Chain A
Amino acid sequence: MAVSTAQASAPETATREIFMSEALREAIDEEMTRDPTVFVVGEEVGVWGGAYAVTQGLLEKWGPDRIVDTPIAEAAIAGLGIGAALTGSRPIAEFMYSDFMGIAMDQIVNQAAKNRYMFGGKAKLPLTYRAPFGAGTGNAAQHTQSLEAWFAHVPGLKVITASTPYDAKGLLKSAIREDNVVIMFEHKAIYAMRGHVPEGEYLVPIGVADVKREGDDVSVITYARQTHHALEAAEQLAAEGISVEVVDIRSLYPLDTDTILRSVRKTHRAVVLYEAVRFGGFGAEIASQIQELAFDDLDAPVLRVGAAHAPVPFSEPLEQASFPGTAQVVESIRQSLQGVY
Chain B
Amino acid sequence: MAEQQPVSTNGRAGGGDASNGVLEQLSDDQLRWIYLIMRRIRRFEETAEEAFRAAKMRGALHFYIGEEATATGVCAALDDGDFITSTHRGHGHCIAKGARMDKMMAELFGRTTGYCGGKGGSMHIADIELGNLGANGIVGAGIPIATGAALGSKLRKDGKVTIAFFGDGAGPTGAFHEGVNVAATMNLPAVFVCENNQYGMATHADFANAAAIHNRGPAYGIPSASIDGNDLFEVYATAKTAIDRARRGEGPTLIESRTYRHKGHTVLDQKNYRTKEEIAEWVARDPIERFVKAVNESERLDEDDFQAIDGQIEREIEHAVAFAEASPWPTVDVIERDVYVE
Q: Identify the A interface with B (CB < 8 A).
A: 43-44, 47-48, 69, 71-73, 75-76, 99-100, 103, 137-143, 308-311, 313-318, 321-322
Contacts and interface: CB of A to CB of B under 8 A. Distances in A.
Interface string B194-211: 000000111100011100
B335 A72 contact: no
Interface stretch (B2-10, B136-144, B277-285, B294-302): B136-144
A219 B207 CA distance: 52
Interface residues of B, number: 41
Contacts of A47: 202-203, 273
Contacts, number: 119
Q: Tell me the dominant secondary structure on chain A's binding face.
A: loop
Contacts of A311: 119, 339
Given A48-B201, A321-B335, A143 B137 contact: yes
26 contacts: A44-B202, A44-B203, A69-B203, A71-B169, A71-B200, A71-B208, A71-B209, A72-B172, A72-B173, A72-B200, A73-B174, A75-B174, A76-B172, A100-B138, A103-B173, A103-B174, A137-B59, A138-B59, A140-B123, A141-B124, A143-B123, A143-B137, A309-B336, A313-B335, A317-B331, A318-B330
Contacts of A138: 58-60, 121
Contacts of A71: 169, 171-172, 200, 203, 207-209
A314 B120 contact: yes
Closest 9 pairs between A and B when the two form their complex, measured CB to CB: A314-B121, A315-B118, A315-B110, A71-B172, A142-B137, A138-B59, A71-B208, A138-B58, A48-B202
A317 B208 contact: no
B332 A317 contact: yes
A314 B332 contact: no
Interface in B133-175: 136-140, 169-175
B144 to A, nearest CB: 12
B339 A310 contact: yes
A308 B330 CA distance: 16
A190 to B, nearest CB: 18
B60 A318 contact: no
Interface of B: 58-60, 110-111, 116, 118-121, 123-124, 136-140, 169-175, 200-203, 207-209, 271, 273, 329-332, 334-336, 339
A72 B116 CA distance: 28
Given A140-B59, A317-B329, A321-B335, A72 B139 contact: yes
Given A73-B172, A75-B174, A314 B124 contact: yes
Given A72-B139, A138-B58, A310-B336, 6 more contacts: A69-B203, A103-B138, A139-B121, A143-B123, A310-B339, A315-B111
Contact of B140 (A72, A139, A317): A72
Contact of B173 (A73, A141, A143): A73
A5 B339 CA distance: 45
A103 B173 CA distance: 9
